[in-house]
């Protein structure tokens, strides 16, 4: 009986410790590169865009491996500066059919101009999707972090694990205010509360 109990509790502990959250994604990287288009005309950037928080499509951390010189190849539209990020950890992958992220080790985009980033910097990256592929609106969508366990990383993991429920961000509001995104968190939180109130009102009416 004692052995059976010990075996049962061992299984229970193993089951609890091995359970992974949504943002804990195991990746076997390939040596390929993901090219992400720059939606420079979007009015917002960062992880909290849109009135109620647009769905994040690809979120990862990594380090900047290369930065080219800025150029005017796009013409008057924007100043292009291409950079390469070596991906370390991936926290969110939205399926986009044949364009779904396929474990590429590197990501390249040309939205680095004006971000104040340097080769070797560790960053967290927030991508969305546009016309069937991953996109990035630049600006606050590439944030420098102190390490891959930076409080910003942990905050975003909570946000992803909660299906982007902004209520989990309230205890981290100072972190995002320091990145000039506190108002964006408050905006999507207010929208979430309004939507929840409307749903509750609808339920009460029918009851």
pLDDT tens for 69-115 read: 999 999 999 999 999 999 999 999 999 999 999 999 999 999 999 99
Residue 16 included in any domain: no
Alpha-carbon torsion angle 56, 37, 120, 155, nearest 10: -10
Question: Could you give the number of structural domains in the chain?
Answer: 1
Tell me, what's the pLDDT at 196? 81
Residue 207 confidence class, pLDDT cut points 50, 70, 90: very low
Residue 17 included in any domain: no
pLDDT tens figures, 160-178: 999 999 999 999 999 999 9
Residue 13 included in any domain: no
Q: Is the dihedral of CA 118, 101, 182, 170 positive or negative?
A: negative
Residue 87 included in any domain: yes
Tell me, what's the pLDDT at 24? 95
**Closest by CA position to 79, among listed 108, 112, 121, 127:** 112
Residue 14 included in any domain: no
Residue 18 confidence class, pLDDT cut points 50, 70, 90: low
pTM over 0.85: yes
Domain span including residue 54: 24-206
Give the rounded distance of the alpha carbon of 195 from its chain centre.
Answer: 23
Tell me, what's the pLDDT at 20? 81
Tell me, what's the pLDDT at 199? 76
Residue 19 confidence class, pLDDT cut points 50, 70, 90: low
Residue 142 included in any domain: yes
Alpha-carbon torsion angle 28, 32, 36, 37, nearest 10: -160
Q: Is the pLDDT of residue 14 over 80?
A: no
Tell me, what's the pLDDT at 10? 45
pLDDT tens figures, 33-48: 999 999 999 999 999 9
pLDDT tens figures, 122-162: 999 999 999 999 999 999 999 999 998 899 999 999 999 99
Residue 195 included in any domain: yes
Mean pLDDT of the chain: 89
How many angstroms separate the CA atoms of 23 and 3, rounded? Answer: 36
């Amino acid at each position: 009986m004692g052995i059976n109990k010990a075996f049962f509790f061992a299984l229970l502990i193993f089951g609890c410790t091995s359970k992974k959250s949504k943002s804990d994604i195991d990746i076997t990287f390939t040596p390929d590169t993901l090219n992400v288009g720059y939606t420079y005309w979007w009015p917002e950037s960062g992880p909290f865009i849109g009135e109620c928080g647009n769905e994040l499509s690809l979120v990862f951390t990594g380090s900047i491996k290369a930065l080219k010189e800025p150029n005017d190849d796009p013409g008057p539209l924007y100043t292009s500066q291409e950079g390469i990020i070596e991906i370390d950890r991936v926290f969110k992958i939205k399926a986009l059919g044949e364009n779904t992220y396929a474990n590429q080790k590197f990501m390249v985009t040309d939205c680095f101009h004006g971000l104040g980033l340097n080769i070797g910097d560790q960053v967290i990256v927030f991508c969305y999707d546009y016309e069937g592929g991953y996109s990035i609106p630049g600006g606050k969508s590439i944030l420098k972090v102190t390490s891959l366990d930076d409080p910003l990383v942990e905050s975003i993991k909570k946000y992803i694990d909660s299906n982007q429920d902004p209520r989990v961000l309230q205890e981290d509001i100072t972190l995002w205010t320091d990145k000039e995104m506190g108002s964006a968190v408050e905006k999507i939180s207010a929208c979430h509360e309004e939507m929840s109130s409307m749903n509750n009102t609808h339920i009460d009416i029918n009851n």
